[in-house]
Chain A
Amino acid sequence: LPAKFDWRDKKVVTPVRNQLSCGGCWAFSIVGGIETVYALKGHPLLELSVQQVIDCSPRDYGCNGGSTVSALSWLNEIKVKLVQDSEYPFKAETGTCHHFPNSSFGVSIKGYEAHDFSAQEEEMAQKLMDSGPLAVIVDAVSWQDYQGGIIQHHCSSSEANHAVLITGFDRTGDVPYWIVKNSWGTTWGLDGYVHIKMGANICGIADSVAAVFL
């Protein structure tokens, strides 16, 4: 593994979004991953519709919550084409699912994998480099007050409640850390990102890890 790796350096990560008072973190994390993998395939970096996932994923609850894995399973089974964010913009509330003609532009996934990488964060870092950003579920209770630095304490590895996207890692300092993109706007944390210590499953970051293929 290199000492430092961040998909942002390759200009394939879209800007941090703000989910406002919608509990749609699960949709933001997977859409963020799909956007990057689509760009890695040589396409332009596009913002895809989070609202489409919030409104249409049938086994989830829109702004009242959902699961990254069940949403990815739906996207994969139906081969749903995710349209651009500008076509189906974020409204911060659950709405009626809009359908688009088959001929219209959209990005569909070819597959996904979801694994528990606890005690295997080196392998998880390799997966990040091989497959693209990783959608993970963490305990984010203490993140309410986070401003910066590397989180090492005050969260649990058994109470996952918030979905985010890992875009990279940094092992150059005393404390190696994951670079994590959140969906609470750029005024939160480190321009919308948070750093989590690597190697100890802090906040349960390695318990439920999903990668997409396009």
Chain B
Amino acid sequence: FFFKSYNRTYRQGSEEFHKRYKLFQESLRRHHFLSSSSNATNTATYGINQFSDLSSEEFRTIYLRALPVHVPKYSKPYKSSRKRL
């Protein structure tokens, strides 16, 4: 189902196939952990998507490439009392 849905073409039995299959199984364990929040208001769901055959490291390396920057704290623009009136 995953291979079909996300157009994966790993040759069955190949080293790559085994690696991806293992990573896919790991992702199922991860989904279980992420979905097991005890908070009653938690509505987030985690499951199979196009990233389910990537390791967490691969995912970070490919997709999480924004560089954080330190920016000043926001402060509301000052309005004089006359303007407020």
Contacts and interface: CB of A to CB of B under 8 A. Distances in A.
B31 to A, nearest CB: 5
A148 interface: yes
Given A69-B69, A115-B73, A152-B44, A145 B34 contact: yes
B22 to A, nearest CB: 16
Contact of A161 (B37, B41, B60): B60
Contacts of B74: 115-117, 120, 123-124, 127, 209
B85 interface: no
Contacts of B66: 25-26, 29, 65-68, 137, 160-163
Contacts of A114: 69, 71-72
A140 interface: yes
A95 B43 CA distance: 41
Interface stretch (A80-88, A103-111, A180-188): A180-188
Given A23-B65, A141-B64, A185 B39 contact: no
Nearest to A177: B43
A144 interface: yes
Interface in A20-50: 21, 23-26, 29
Interface string B54-85: 10100110111111111111101000000000
B12 interface: no
Given A25-B63, A141-B56, A153-B37, A146 B46 contact: yes
Nearest to A69: B69
B14 interface: no
Given A141-B56, A145-B34, A115 B63 contact: no
B65 A65 contact: yes
Contact of A145 (B42, B47, B71): B47
Given A114-B69, A147-B45, A152 B54 contact: no
Contact of B63 (A60, A123, A162): A162
Interface string A46-88: 0000000000000011011111111000000000000000000
27 contacts: A23-B65, A25-B63, A25-B64, A25-B66, A61-B65, A67-B69, A68-B66, A68-B69, A114-B69, A115-B71, A123-B74, A137-B68, A137-B69, A141-B56, A146-B44, A147-B49, A150-B43, A152-B37, A152-B41, A160-B66, A162-B66, A175-B43, A187-B50, A188-B49, A189-B49, A207-B68, A208-B70
Interface of B: 27, 30-31, 34, 37, 39, 41-47, 49-52, 54, 56, 59-60, 62-74, 76
The 9 closest A-B pairs by CB, nearest first: A23-B65, A65-B65, A149-B43, A115-B74, A160-B68, A161-B64, A149-B44, A145-B46, A163-B66
